[in-house]
Structure 1
Amino acid sequence: MKLGLHYWNYSTPADPAQIAPTLARTARIAEQGGVARFTVMDHWFQMMTPRSTAEEPMLEGYTTLGYVAAVTERMQLNLMVTGVMYRYPGLLAKTVTTLDVLSGGRAQLGIGASWYEREQLALGVPIVPVAERFERLEEALQICLQMWSEDDGPYQGKHYRLAETLCVPQPLRRPRPPIVIGGSGERKTLKLVARYADACNLFGTGVDEVAHKLDVLRAHCASEKRDFESIEKTVMCSRRPVLTELDTFLAEAEQLAALGVTELQVTADQGQHPAEFAEQVVERLVPRLAEIG
């Protein structure tokens, strides 16, 4: 079982001048300790939750990953996940390509249907109905795949029209950066996973729920004539705090592994110092997860 570290909190430490060195230190600790993937959110405002408010610090995701790429050498890097409405798909493909080239072939495209309307309204990003968001998500996937292929001709979709899909240089990753679709929607999201993705990322609300979502994905794969086993299954863990309930977490990890899940992502809790959390994770969790397979 692999481990991913999801970095979402830029509020600790409180001094904005410490955001960059804390991010770098955390990423280095994670990589040196065997963490397989480092992800950040694609938001401009911090999410409003019982643990956070919109007024807390938030960084733009791809710029952040570019910085992390410069201070690491091996970890996979992606947003968890890119909001489809936040960037034109052709520019998104170019952005992910740039990250892949500069990181030495470590970029992945994490993508999903955007949802945080407050930040979209605030910053002038168009808000469209949910059905249209998923239409745009499918077209964005098609455009990225075309730009990462030998076909540099036009693309004509319902929402996006590109005169040419030239992308030079191409990504270093072969045959292209893997596509991770985030979300658990049974009718649309998991169908797009079956049709386009190399991996899914499910929200880990419980072993039974993950098992159900994987059954839905298996049915979509059958309809799409896609090999279910060819899709990597990853889970964003909702259990907090992870390290004080370690035995329970590991027991669930074993059950998830039996379902075919190969990677879990964990996050620090509100107020935890990210680097200190990473130190504890690589000391206490990474070795135990490596024993699960």
Structure 2
Amino acid sequence: MPHVRPFRFGIITDGAPTREEWITRAREAEDLGYSTFLQPDHFTSDFFPLPSLMAAADATTNLRIGTLVYNNDLRHPVLLAKEVAALDMLSGGRFELGIGAGWNRPEYDQVGVPFERAGLRIERLEESLQILKQSFSDEPVNFTGKHYTVTDLNVTPKPIQRPHPPIVMGGGGKKLLSLAAREANVIGLHVKVNDNGTVDATENIEDTLAEKVGWIREAAGERFSSIELNMLISGFALAHNQQEAAEHYIRKRELTGATVEQVLANPYIMLGTTEQMVERIQRWRERLGVSYLVIYAEYMHAFAPVVTRLAGK
């Protein structure tokens, strides 16, 4: 019988107007039973991860902190390794390293960083992962690749979690998910964004998620059973009438051409009662193996009854 991984939940948040509000948010997340307090890595975010996540860790006891996700193109992997190890050490071993190849082209354009084709960005990420893992070891880093070269460098500090903090990667395409299957501890299932920034309708159905889990299983081989599967819920509303909630969601998001049926079938949108959400999440674990859900901080309190019902079970 396959191993059933217990449910856990996280929130993602990118800033606060005051220190007090940021600290309160972290403490509330911990009190409500969330496992992780996560931050994106964008120039448009209020905070960058290092100082704000450290503040969240200092204000809490067991809450894990992490990135969702660091943009590999914005930092040299040795600099990132030092930052990650420091966060892990100073938080008492509570850091989770989310890292990706970068996807937001307007952000690149704003700061003059070339936005290269996806294959090249993924290739660079693959090299970066090798350097990161070497940096967390007790041996000097020696690496020569197409994009990076590091010679006989002893990187300090070292993380508490060994061999390294959990690595979190996500993606929508086969190439990136296959890399994650070989390298990551946690894999997020996301939609695949086309080169022109659009998303095909087929990306927002459960069968497509099942196909992506199949890619991961194939590439991971024997290590598949040790991988935790994750999803980020982008839309949420508690409602007794799902159809009315879907109609409101379409109007609010100005989803021209979208139908109620499409919205309700979209696995990245949660609309309905707490019981309906609990049943849906349990079905995802049974069919897809997904056991780790992340939701935006604005929904943290409304989603809390689901966390209470399922966390750790």
TM-score (norm 1): 0.82
Question: Counterpart amino acid of 1:132?
Answer: L
Question: Counterpart amino acid of 2:292?
Answer: E
Query: For 2:9, which of 3, 18, 23 is the aligned residue?
Result: 3
Q: Kindly indicate whether residue 286 of structure 2 is the aligned counterpart of residue 255 of structure 1.
A: no
Question: Counterpart amino acid of 1:209?
Answer: T
Mapped to 1, the partners of 2:12 and 2:126 lie a distance apart of 25
Residue of structure 1 equivalent to 2:123: 135
**Does the 8 Å CA contact 2:72/2:125 hold for their aligned counterparts?**
yes
Mapped to 1, the partners of 2:217 and 2:142 lie a distance apart of 33
Mapped to 1, the partners of 2:238 and 2:172 lie a distance apart of 22
Q: Post-superposition shift, 1:206?
A: 4.5
Q: Kindly indicate whether residue 236 of structure 2 is the aligned counterpart of residue 240 of structure 1.
A: yes
Q: Which runs of 5+ in 2 are unaligned?
A: 1-6, 192-203, 240-270
Residue of structure 1 equivalent to 2:55: 67
Mapped to 2, the partners of 1:164 and 1:184 lie a distance apart of 36
Residue of structure 2 equivalent to 1:288: 309
* 3-state SS, counterpart of residue 118 of structure 1: helix
**Does the 8 Å CA contact 2:82/2:155 hold for their aligned counterparts?**
yes
Mapped to 1, the partners of 2:173 and 2:109 lie a distance apart of 24
Mapped to 1, the partners of 2:231 and 2:238 lie a distance apart of 14
**Does the 8 Å CA contact 1:3/1:289 hold for their aligned counterparts?**
no
Mapped to 1, the partners of 2:36 and 2:95 lie a distance apart of 10
Query: For 1:189, which of 145, 157, 176 is the aligned residue?
Result: 176
Q: Post-superposition shift, 1:109?
A: 1.1
Larger RCO, structures 1/2 (Cα 8 Å, 6+ apart): 1
**Does the 8 Å CA contact 1:83/1:113 hold for their aligned counterparts?**
yes
Deviations 1:49-98 (A, max 9, x none): xxxxxxxxx32233321221221221221111111101111111111111
Structure 1 segment 73-222 matched on structure 2, within 5 A:
73-186=61-174, 188-203=175-190, 205-222=204-221
Mapped to 2, the partners of 1:69 and 1:241 lie a distance apart of 29
Mapped to 2, the partners of 1:175 and 1:288 lie a distance apart of 33
Mapped to 2, the partners of 1:252 and 1:209 lie a distance apart of 16
Tell me the percent identity.
34
Q: Post-superposition shift, 1:242?
A: 5.5
Mapped to 1, the partners of 2:107 and 2:101 lie a distance apart of 14
Question: Counterpart amino acid of 2:275?
Answer: D
Question: Counterpart amino acid of 2:189?
Answer: L
Residue of structure 1 equivalent to 2:293: 264
Mapped to 2, the partners of 1:30 and 1:203 lie a distance apart of 24
Residue of structure 2 equivalent to 1:52: none
Deviations 1:126-167 (A, max 9, x none): 332222101110011000011111221421111011123422
**Does the 8 Å CA contact 2:277/2:306 hold for their aligned counterparts?**
no
Question: Counterpart amino acid of 1:288?
Answer: R
TM-score (norm 2): 0.77
**Does the 8 Å CA contact 1:38/1:76 hold for their aligned counterparts?**
yes
Deviations 1:206-265 (A, max 9, x none): 43332221111111123xxx4211111111123322676233322220111113222111
Q: Which runs of 5+ in 1 are unaligned?
A: 11-15, 47-57, 269-273
**Does the 8 Å CA contact 1:207/1:252 hold for their aligned counterparts?**
no
Question: Counterpart amino acid of 2:146?
Answer: K
Which is higher, the Rg of structure 1 or of structure 2? 2
Alpha-carbon RMSD across the aligned residues, in angstroms, is 2.1
Question: Counterpart amino acid of 1:248?
Answer: Q
